[in-house]
Amino acid sequence: MRPSAPRVQSLKVYGAIAMTLPHDWALYEVFVRAKRGLDHKHVGSLHAADAAMAIEHARDLYTRRQEGVSLWVVKSADIVASAPEDAAAFFDPAEDKIYRHPTFYDIPKDVETL
Amino acid sequence: MWPKVRNGGEWMYTQGLLEAPPKAASAVEDSERMARFQARIDAEEKIEPKDWMPEAYRQTLIRQISQHAHSEIVGMLPEGHWISRAPSLLRKSILIAKVQDEGGHGAYLYSAAETLGIARSELIEQLLSGRAKYSSIFNYPTPTWADVAAIGWLVDGAAIMNQVPLCRCSYGPYARAMVRVCKEESFHQRQGYHAMLSLARGTPAQQRMAQDALNRWWWPALMMFGPPDTASQHTALSVRWKIKRFTNDELRQKFVDFTVPQAQFLGLMVPDTQLHQAEDGHYQTGPLDWSEFNAVLKGNGPCNAERIAERREAHAAGAWVREAAIAHAAKRAARAVA
């Protein structure tokens, strides 16, 4: 038995469904706060028709085992990020400012609690 | 498209639906980028969505992650059929939770695949049109309740063996998705073995049912690890890129070594007359019938047509929900503006 109709036919039959697929459901990024006192942490993404649905989907998808007490969702398109190929130059100015770290300073051993 | 949006503040965090990156300006630049890319992988650093990556790495990952996602989605079907016929309320609750997890795993993985610049709708279209591959294991039928138990024990057990090393895969979003998947997968295997144990300690008829299910799933489970290393097309490059950490045969051997004693504990017979423990402690199996594997892979398995037909039906039946959700969202947005 053939597994399915030949591709051309299957596309014709299911073409209408396929056309509804590039759905207008936006991509959302999901952030979960695991417990009070911790930051919200990025866990992944999902598609939803609107923000309310995104929150419900996020609960079902990312907190099936009590992984969170709070959720954030944000449209992926609304996130502004630095460019990785510029990272070296972009973050470079901090590299030679070693005096910003406490270990830069040699303090005599006799001085305690510092 | 790609470079323009970069400075416009419209970078999608997951790089969702952006087009493929532009071709490198020159071969020299390309080889320099390639060297930096490989050095990063060699140093066990992760590759993240917006990093430069060779096109073959991107395509390999899209293929592997999406096939994995499709497998989770199709994998809901053989067990889903048993939800209404589970032997107790507890077993039914467990099975619902497991099948929901499979759907969740599919969603985690589609989400990871999307970070490589392919739309989820395109991936789903590939599955529904029959162009995409998924694990051939799901093209076998589940005629009895014991098959559901055997799937949890053997199929999820083999999946864990494959998936644990993927938690250290070089591609960040895939590795992170696999960490979540593996945490949940352990429940799948243990509930399966638990159900198998109930049958193995049950009536003679239940014991026969358990043995029959083991007979049906043993060889297909071994074939889940893919073709032998001598015949595998993708292994070398995938190992260099740390997409794959162990070869098919290494993982298969590990699975056999873990599983044979588990079968012995159940008092069941592994359906392999040539199976024996070698001097080095490893269990040696008889030869695998790869002609069967290839036939199932090519679409001639017992349930290939049924699985895809069922996915298409489910997708078509859900169309009105997707459309209604869009209409509802649009209406609420319009009201909010007014």
Q: Identify residue B306 by its one-letter amino acid code.
A: E
Sign of CA dihedral A12, A14, A17, A23: negative
pLDDT tens column, B129-174: 989 989 989 999 999 999 999 999 999 999 999 999 999 999 999 9
- Please report the pLDDT score of residue B26 as a whole number: 66
Residue B268 pLDDT exceeds 80: yes
Residue ranges of chain A whose pLDDT lies below 50: 1-22
pLDDT tens column, B176-216: 999 999 999 999 999 999 999 999 999 999 999 999 999 99
C-alpha span between B204 and B196 (Å, rounded) = 14
Question: Are the C-beta atoms of residues B118 and B55 closer than 8 Å to each other?
Answer: no
- Please report the pLDDT score of residue B256 as a whole number: 98
Percent of chain B predicted with pLDDT > 70: 92
- Please report the pLDDT score of residue B236 as a whole number: 81
- Please report the pLDDT score of residue B249 as a whole number: 94
Q: A67 to chain B nearest CA, in Å?
A: 11
The per-residue pLDDT of chain B, averaged, comes to 89
Residue B85 pLDDT exceeds 70: yes
Out of A49, A80, A84, name the one closest to residue B329 (CB): A49
> Is B4 or B176 the better-scoring residue by pLDDT?
B176
> Is B29 or B327 the better-scoring residue by pLDDT?
B327
- Please report the pLDDT score of residue A1 as a whole number: 40
Vertex B113: Cα angle to B112 and B116 (nearest 5): 105
Residue B226 pLDDT exceeds 80: yes
Q: A40 to chain B nearest CA, in Å?
A: 16
Vertex A77: Cα angle to A73 and A78 (nearest 5): 65
Taking alpha carbons only, the member of B70, B312, B136 closest to residue A11 is B312
B328 contacts A27? CB cut-off 8 A: no
pLDDT tens column, B284-296: 999 999 998 888 8
A4 contacts B305? CB cut-off 8 A: yes
- What secondary structure does DSSP assign to B9-20, as a single string? T---TT-TTPPP
Interface check for B9 against chain A (CB to CB < 8 A): the answer is yes
Taking alpha carbons only, the member of B159, B163, B138 closest to residue B80 is B138
Place of tokens 């006192």: A37
Instruction: Name which of B2, B4, B6, B13 to mutate to probe chain A: the one with the most chain A Cβ atoms within 10 A of its Cβ.
Output: B13
Please state the rounded mean pLDDT for residues B61-83.
95
Q: Which value does ipTM take for this structure?
A: 0.84
- Please report the pLDDT score of residue A88 as a whole number: 83
Please state the rounded mean pLDDT for residues B50-58.
93
Please state the rounded mean pLDDT for residues B239-264.
95
A45 contacts B14? CB cut-off 8 A: yes
Taking alpha carbons only, the member of A72, A47, A97, A111 closest to residue B326 is A47
Instruction: Name which of A20, A43, A73, A86 to mutate to probe chain B: the one with the most chain B Cβ atoms within 10 A of its Cβ.
Output: A20
pLDDT tens column, B8-39: 333 334 433 343 444 545 677 788 999 999 99
Question: Are the C-beta atoms of residues B272 and B89 closer than 8 Å to each other?
Answer: no
CA dihedral B325, B331, B337, B338 (to 10 degrees): -160
B234: phi then psi, degrees, rounded to nearest 5: -100, -5
Compute CA B301 distance to the chain's CA centroid, rounded to the nearest angstrom: 18
Instruction: Name which of B48, B121, B127, B186 to mutate to probe chain A: the one with the most chain A Cβ atoms within 10 A of its Cβ.
Output: B121
> Is B298 or B223 the better-scoring residue by pLDDT?
B223
Q: Identify residue A83 by its one-letter amino acid code.
A: A
Taking alpha carbons only, the member of B111, B12, B91, B161 closest to residue A62 is B111
Interface check for B30 against chain A (CB to CB < 8 A): the answer is no
B141: phi then psi, degrees, rounded to nearest 5: -80, 165
Q: CB-based contacts of B283: which residues, under 8 Å, 6+ apart?
A: B256, B257, B260, B275, B276, B277
A46: phi then psi, degrees, rounded to nearest 5: -160, 170
- Please report the pLDDT score of residue B16 as a whole number: 38
Question: Are the C-beta atoms of residues A77 and B13 closer than 8 Å to each other?
Answer: no
Q: A91 to chain B nearest CA, in Å?
A: 16
Residue B338 pLDDT exceeds 80: no
Report which listed range, B1-5, B7-11, B76-80, is most confident: B76-80
A23 contacts B6? CB cut-off 8 A: no
Residues in A closer than 8 angstroms to B328, CB to CB, are 49-50
Compute CA B197 distance to the chain's CA centroid, rounded to the nearest angstrom: 26
Question: Are the C-beta atoms of residues B130 and A2 closer than 8 Å to each other?
Answer: no
